[in-house]
């Protein structure tokens, strides 16, 4: 099956959002709470602003967050790839 570029962009954006959600769950914070939504968007797009990885995060969670937040949208996984990772993390 072929996907249109917009489908791939939506999937990549969903995975980025999931990575941010993982960050929020691990830190119990709102990322970039000191910035306006416009400032966040501009800094992410133009300056490479990223959330800092919290200290003490498990290695597996750090890896998962890292792949979900990959700078290259085409290299972010899809949810079919993430579910087995989450299942393995839950069983260990």
| DSSP character string of 7-47 | HHHHHHHHHHHHHHHHHHHHH-S-TTTTS-HHHHHHHHHHH
Domains of the chain: residue spans and CATH: 5-91 (1.10.510.10)
Specify the pLDDT at position 1. 46
- pLDDT tens readout for residues 37-83: 999 999 998 999 999 988 899 999 999 999 999 999 999 999 999 99
- Model confidence, pTM: 0.84
CA distance 32 to 82: 25
Specify the pLDDT at position 54. 85
> Sorting pLDDT into bands at 50, 70 and 90, what band is 3?
low
């Amino acid at each position: 099956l072929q996907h249109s570029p917009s489908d791939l962009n939506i999937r990549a954006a969903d995975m980025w959002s999931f990575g941010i959600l993982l960050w929020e769950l691990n830190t119990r914070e709102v990322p970039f709470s000191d910035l306006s939504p416009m400032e966040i968007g501009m800094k992410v797009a133009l300056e490479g602003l990223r959330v800092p990885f919290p200290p003490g995060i498990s290695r597996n969670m750090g890896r998962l967050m890292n792949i979900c937040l990959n700078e290259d949208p085409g290299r972010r996984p899809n949810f079919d790839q993430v579910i087995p990772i989450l299942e393995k993390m839950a069983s260990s």
